[in-house]
Amino acid sequence: MIDAQVVQDTLNRALTTGARFAEVFVEDRSSTAIRLDDGKIEEVVAGGDRGAGIRVFHGETQAYAYTNRLDPGSLEEAALAAASAVRDGGDRVEMVDLRSGPSAAPELPASTDVSRTQKVEWLREADDAARAVDATVRQVMVVYGESRQHVMIANSMGDWTEEVRPRIRLFAQVVAVRDDVMQTGFEGPGALAGPEFLRRRPPSATGEVAARMAVAMLDGRPAPAARMPVVLAPGGGGILFHEACGHGLEADLVQHDASIFRGRLGETLASPLVTGVDDGTVPGEWGTNAFDDEATPTHRTVLFDGGTLVGLMYDRLRADGDGVPSTGNGRRQSYAHLPIPRMTNSAILAGDARPEDVVASTPHGLYAKALGGGQVNPSTGDFVFGVAEGYMIEQGKITGAVRGANLIGNGPQILAGIDAVADDFGVRHGICGKDGQGVPVSNGSPTLRIADMTIGGTDA
Amino acid sequence: MSENAGVPSLADLCARAVRAARTGEGVEAYAGGGRHVDVRVRAGRVESLTSAETRGVGVRTVIDGRVGYAYAADPSLDEVDALVDAARQSAAFAEPDEFNVLPAIEQAEPLSGLYRETQELVPAERKVSTALEFERAAVSAHPDVRKVRSASIADAVSRVAIASTRGGPVTYERTDCWASVSAIAERDGEMQMGFEFALARELDDLEWEPAARGAAERAARLLGGEQPKSERLPVVLDPGAATAFLSVLAGALSGEAVLKGRSPLASMVGQSVGSPALTLIDDGRLPGGTGSAPFDDEGVKTGRTLLVEAGVLRGFLHNTYTGARSGRPSTGNAGRSDHRSVPGVSPSNLSFEPGTLSAEEILRQAGRAVYVQDVTGLHSGASSITGEFSVGATGLVVEGGALGRPLREMTVASTLLEVLSGVREVGSDLRFFPMGGSIGAPTILVGEMTIAGT
């Protein structure tokens, strides 16, 4: 992407004020987005973005400078800007040697021969399938998004990697209307892959799932405002895990003494049924990369093992601080962002209960078939997530739909309160936001039950 | 961005795109660029110092009613020609719509004070020293607050140019400066977080000290909170919480949502949608407003739009497309996050008109109520389409006319229309927050909402 000599010179320039570490991150990304809305292909957007970020560590301070320009002069300017931010370090000059050449990530089999005509056709298929579900389907929006992010990272430790990351996602949002009730449904599978992924996950199925959700919720009555057991469908528990403890186990928050999980490694905090991992290596998964955004190979990190907290997620800076290796969780939205510890593909692993038995053994509770996103306050551990499609469970049977509920709980308490984990498994895909940066993540889990949780409906 | 010799100006880049238009084609170019510095401090040390210089161009073509769009980071003049080509090719795959038209671009009256040259000259050292002082102020404001999650001082110099086959280029430049802090209060092993911020056009005007004290106070007063009982109660929304609510309502006031059947307000113009105490205005030229600009993101002069007048819905926000399709002019509310996005509809400075009561007077009138300080889970728990919302909240009990003990792990739920019609008092303490545009609200007392807890 960039001449080896230029990379080396840039790193050397960045080290001139005595930084203990310097890094160059170069990115070239091309994206295509096609939107169908209101029955029409409304817009087709093709774009390119490129830039480089130069980072240095000086003690615990990071200085970062980024630019869109990749010519040697602009890279030098950015390196000097980063270096001058930590200029109290004297004039120690350490030369970087990158002669060994970059380690390339394995090439992914992403086909580029899918025509725009085919992509447009996929959107129409999703739209048709959604509208065919029921006459109450009023509006359908389908967005096709693909990107190809070419990343090169080199640092003064001699790490040098290059990776091409193709990503694809097709998202459908459906509005169903009956009388004066309007409800929505959505579905949005994604992958680290090229457009051929949509041959395995047909757009028509995505449109249909979204439409069925919207139509089902038209029958919903207002959700209760009360505490009760909650059964989460496959994948939903992954979103819970992400919010209930995932963010609190990202090492920046722990090191800042701002996480409720600080100083609790080795303690049994969750139910013994809970084994949870973060795994950036799952082939083709939405949150997967070969290397993280700091040239560290991605990794499978066990966070909870049979209920015991055993791991944290690290980027390079925080790993240095704790004297441990990075777990390959240093991620950034783009060259315009500093890497921070982030989840990749996080999951609660399957247990051995049968999903139908989990529901059948619940006398009264809520069945959350689909969840929206959530949010956590990592300092208190209190978190919420939205139920996009929910039903009441009565006498062990899933009954009528309920709508308009967020669930709220406290991370450690909810993890301890998981009292059934089934042997199925499902994954949901999303964009996780932290410190103003969005990165693709997946959340996986089997069907599971929380013994007692607050349902934030309107029916008090 | 310094307009260096040899580097084309943003206006030059736009003009080049327009020159590439073929007969009968509409071509519009939006170029944005700027410099940005962000200093984050924690525990008395600089945690990170980021500096950046970026620019980019987005080209929209309208060919026989079909829209195509292409963008690139920092393109050369030749690359701009290629962008026009890429947008043209994209347009071939879109479907025609007679309302896809480019607006006429006229020189808009400049907004005074939007750009401060003095801010461009502030040295990085001063931003660093201010950030360190800012954190010190937060951790010395309250005995239970000894640390922050992070405190930051940041600024940006931004420039925008727009030109199309219907006029321009028009340009403006602006400076923005902001301070934000999440303070952590701690007692007996319990932690609580309080967020505050300040915004200004330049560092000299930035009132960071009240933000530092406010964050500490907001964190400390939540310590020792308990989960409330589930019940329906009057709710006092803090300006931030009221703004979060308004940001959801803003989605339902977008002309695009209305046209596409995604707004519960679609058929209610001229009808009462809320309490007579409510008047809602979008003002793109508000002096000092962070959402103010002389023209919107497709070059249309900004203005003032009355959306709700004493509880009666008067209209919606429009860009050129949604306006044309609704048979009315654009309200100057075309918005894009940057050069990479096709213009949508966004509020500029959207706010409830303030009332006459102070926050204290509202608390005295509230009776037994819940004061909501912060809400979480807005993106998953609140929908501008269904009008339903259920959000996580922290806050305090209101009793005896004042704030009492803290509350945690609760949700607050209702519907947009129920809240609007249930508004009993609108305070005088209007404050704007940067939430997808600049959105503002004062303290608001709502008759009844459902609190879920134990």
Å between A159 CA and nearest CA of chain B? 22
Q: How confident is the model at residue B276 (pLDDT cuts 50, 70, 90)?
A: very high
**Range from A15-19, A117-121, B351-355, B424-428 carrying the lowest mean pLDDT:** A15-19
Which of the 8 DSSP states describes residue A243? I
Query: Exposed, middle or buried: residue A109 (CB in 10 Å: 0-12, 13-18, 19+)?
Result: exposed
* Ordered DSSP codes for A88-128: GG---------TT-PEEPPPP-------HHHHHHHHHHHHH
A55 forms bridges with which residues in the sheet?
A: A23, A64
Distance between CA atoms of residues A376 and B149, nearest Å: 14
- Residue A404 has what pLDDT? 79
∠ CA B445-B451-B452 to the nearest 5 degrees?
A: 165
Tokens of A458: 């309107």
Q: Provide, as residue numbers in chain A, all residues whose Cβ is less than 8 Å from the Cβ of B391.
A: 384, 406, 456
Average pLDDT in the B273-298 region? 96
Enumerate the domain spans of chain A: 4-218, 221-456
Across the A:B interface, residue pairs with CB atoms under 8 Å apart total: 255
B159-199 pLDDT tens trace: 999 999 999 999 999 999 999 999 999 999 899 999 999 99
The DSSP secondary-structure symbol of B11 reads: H
Q: Is B153's pLDDT higher than 60? A: yes
Residue found by looking up tokens 């298929």 in the block: A125
Confidence band for A89, pLDDT divided at 50, 70 and 90? very low
d(CA B85, CA A90): 51
Residue located via tokens 């918005």: B335
d(CA B319, CA B96): 18
Residues with Cβ within 8 Å of residue B289, at least 6 apart in sequence: B283, B348, B349, B432, B438
Interface test with A, best of B46, B144, B373, B380 (most A CBs within 10 A): B380
Return the minimum-mean-pLDDT range out of A102-106, A371-375, B142-146, B349-353.
A102-106
Which string of DSSP letters, residue by residue, matches B223-270?
Answer: TT-BPPPPEEEEEEEPHHHHHHHHHHHHHHTBHHHHHTT--TTTT-TT
pLDDT category of residue B98 using cuts at 50, 70 and 90:
very high
Q: Is residue A91 pLDDT above 50, yes or no?
A: no
End-to-end CA distance of chain B, in Å?
55
Chain B (368-427) residues lying within 8 Å, Cβ to Cβ, of chain A:
376-381, 383, 385-392, 394, 408-415
Q: How far apart, in whole angstroms, are the C-alpha atoms of residue A424 and residue A354?
A: 8
Whether chain B has a CB inside 8 Å of the CB on A121: the answer is: no
Contacts of B450 in chain A (CB under 8 A): 225, 456-460
B261 inside 8 A of chain A by CB: yes
Q: Looking at residue B7, what is its pLDDT?
A: 85
Residue spans of beta strands (DSSP E) within B5-144 = 26-42, 45-63, 66-73
Let me know: does B450 contact B413? Beta carbons within 8 Å. yes
Pick the CATH number of A4-218 from 3.40.50.2300, 3.30.365.10, 3.30.2290.10, 3.40.1010.10: 3.30.2290.10
When computed from its CA atoms, the radius of gyration of chain A, rounded to whole angstroms, is 24
Using omega within 30 degrees of 0 as the cis cutoff, is the peptide bond preceding B169 cis? yes
Report d(CA B226, CA B218) in Å as an integer. Answer: 16
Q: Is the pLDDT of residue B3 over 50?
A: no
- Per-residue pLDDT reduced to its tens digit, A305-323: 999 999 999 999 999 999 9
pLDDT of res. B369? 97
Range of lowest pLDDT (A156-160, A394-398, B277-281) = A156-160
Report yes or no: A3 and A75 within 8 Å, Cβ to Cβ. Answer: no
Distance of CA A147 to the CA centre of its chain: 16
Give the nearest chain A residue to B321 (CA atoms): A42
Give the DSSP letter string of B169-184.
Answer: EEEEEEEEEEEEEEEE
Cβ distance A123 to A142 under 8 Å?
yes
Helices (H), B92-207: 117-120, 124-139
The residue behind tokens 């439409």 is: A211
**pLDDT value, residue A90:** 45
For chain B, give the number of residues. 454
Closest listed residue to residue A70, CA positions, set A5, A153, A2, A10: A2
Q: B403 with B409: CB under 8 angstroms?
A: no
At residue A259, the pLDDT reads: 87
Per-residue pLDDT reduced to its tens digit, A172-222: 999 999 998 999 999 999 999 999 999 999 999 999 999 999 999 999 999
> How far from A436 is each of A121, B239, B431, CA to CA, in Å?
34, 22, 22
H helix or E strand, kind and range, residue A145: strand A137-155
Residue A99 has pLDDT above 90, yes or no: no
For residue B108, the model assigns a pLDDT of 87
